[in-house]
Structure 1
Amino acid sequence: MRDDSRQARWENRTEAPLAVASLLYLTAYAVWVLAAGLPAVWRGVCLAVLLAAWAAFAVDYAVRWRLSGLGPRFVRTHWLDTLVLVLPLLRPLRVVHVYEAIQRRNGRPRLALHARVVTYAGLSALLLGFTGALAVYQQEHTARGTTIHTFGDAVWWAAATLATVGYGDVSPVTPMGRLIAVGMMACGLALLGAVTGSFSSWLLQVFAREDDERPPGR
């Protein structure tokens, strides 16, 4: 059934513009971190984009809080939205949610459930890896005793961390870098568990279907 509440209408109208704002935020942050030699005017433009995008996220959060009618309980029941507001680098992950919503508006999703889990986990891993690499590189590349000197080092570290491999050849040394690492480890475990569970479930369904189709006596 279609939800005609004001909150649902607000979310339907704003999800696409906010997805664009999320990508603009990530792009501006990437330019801010990686292009350190930019002229001051362009760094000012990047900062303006960052602040404007975050302001849009804050307005959306406040409006949905007001329309929900939950009062302070909104923070507890929508803890992920609160976390994204505090850490706006995680906001681009909502692009996956927007893609899912667009698929459902056009009818049934084109991909099967297991394929969607793997696809969305892959997209989430790419976005998390890129944003995590940016954040760690910003904190680490000028720190004393660091092993992360280039953005390539940060990307390698992010890939190893999300894959739960942890080679240890490069690792953060600053408190903020290590805090980011803890979050990346938790996300890597969650994504790996989702993909592994979905793949195992798919295999069980395939084997069960083969047993059902096998002629009696064989």
Structure 2
Amino acid sequence: MRERPLIPPAQERWDDRMETPLTVTALVYLAAYAMRVLGHDLSGPLRDLCLALTYTGWAIFIVDFVVRVRLSGLGLLRFVRHHFLDAMVVILPLLRPLRVVSVYDRVQRRRDKPRLTLYARVMAYAGMAAGLLGFAGALAVYSFEYDAPGATIRTFGDSVWWSCATLATVGYGDVTPVTPMGRLTAVGMMGVGLALLGAVTGSFSSWLIQVFTREDESGDGKRPPGDFPGAS
């Protein structure tokens, strides 16, 4: 198994300096994108401002990515291999809100002792990612679907319901995307939903096994025969 390369001091200083600007940029990008998608009655100048903010946010992410590649000394391909999420954030607008999770992860790793255990951090990150992706995915699908011929996703509420069902891998089928871009977004969200569900259930199962193993080793888990919780 290949070890993750050490972060050069120059890149680490750049990452620390850019934490707050990138977090603000990700949130502004999401807010501007939401206003542009949901604000059908926005005036022309305000819509242009939202569009300018989204493209400005994209430009900031690109500049940050290029600088980090140069400071890492790894070259583009090796950097992408070890920082895949950062590369995807630059390419796919839908994933840009996940930058908030990435920054939060770096803040946690800077502490000598993180406030949350490993299992709790995995579930917290998965929950944050699911919330951000669900909202961004609902916006993206709604922008493609609300005025498409034969569409069943006509309101943002329909889109949020569809996004929750897709991320949870339930797929009721009462509302479905009909446009090519809407379906492409759906495929990506299905994959993300499976990954997040696997991460949460795996972490929760590992935590339960760890707790029961600790109880067995300490002898606290021993009970007389027939003495089970809830037994009368």
TM-score above 0.5, yes or no = yes
Partner residue of 2:20? Answer: 16
Give the Cα separation in 2 of the matches to 1:174 and 1:4.
45
Partner residue of 1:42? Answer: 46
Which of these residues, 30, 33, 51, is aligned with residue 29 of structure 1?
Answer: 33
Which is worse superposed, 65-74 or 147-156?
A: 65-74
Partner residue of 1:177? Answer: 182
Give the Cα separation in 2 of the matches to 1:154 and 1:75.
35
Alignment of 1:136-151 (within 5 A): 136-151=141-156
Partner residue of 1:165? Answer: 170
- Cα distance, 1:75 vs structure 2: 6.0
Residues 51-87 of structure 1: CA deviation (Å, up to 9, x unaligned): 1111111111111122222334246424332221111
Which of these residues, 109, 113, 124, is aligned with residue 108 of structure 1?
Answer: 113
Mark the runs of 5 or more structure 1 residues left unpaired by the alignment. none
Q: Which amino acid aligns with 2:52?
A: A
Residues 133-181 of structure 1: CA deviation (Å, up to 9, x unaligned): 0000000111111000000000000000000000000000011100000
Give the Cα separation in 2 of the matches to 1:4 and 1:80.
19
Q: Secondary structure at the match of 2:187?
A: helix
Give the Cα separation in 2 of the matches to 1:150 and 1:163.
20
Alignment of 1:51-200 (within 5 A): 51-74=55-78, 76-77=80-81, 78-200=83-205
Mark the runs of 5 or more structure 2 residues left unpaired by the alignment. 1-5, 224-232
Instruction: Go from structure 1 to structure 2 and tell me whether the alpha carbon gap of 1:106 and 1:82 turns closer, same or farther (over 3 Å shift).
Output: closer
TM-score if structure 2 supplies the norm length?
0.87
Cα RMSD, aligned residues only: 1.8
Instruction: Go from structure 1 to structure 2 and tell me whether the alpha carbon gap of 1:75 and 1:208 turns closer, same or farther (over 3 Å shift).
Output: closer
8 A Cα contact 2:168 2:193, kept in partner = yes
Which is worse superposed, 70-79 or 164-173?
A: 70-79
Q: Which amino acid aligns with 1:79?
A: F
8 A Cα contact 2:141 2:159, kept in partner = yes
Partner residue of 2:217? Answer: 212
- Cα distance, 1:10 vs structure 2: 1.0
Identity of aligned residues (%): 62
Give the Cα separation in 1 of the matches to 2:57 and 2:149.
33
Q: Which amino acid aligns with 1:25?
A: Y
Q: Which amino acid aligns with 1:68?
A: S
Q: Which amino acid aligns with 1:38?
A: L
Question: For this pair of structures, how many residues does the alignment match?
Answer: 216
8 A Cα contact 1:136 1:172, kept in partner = yes
Q: Which amino acid aligns with 1:126?
A: G
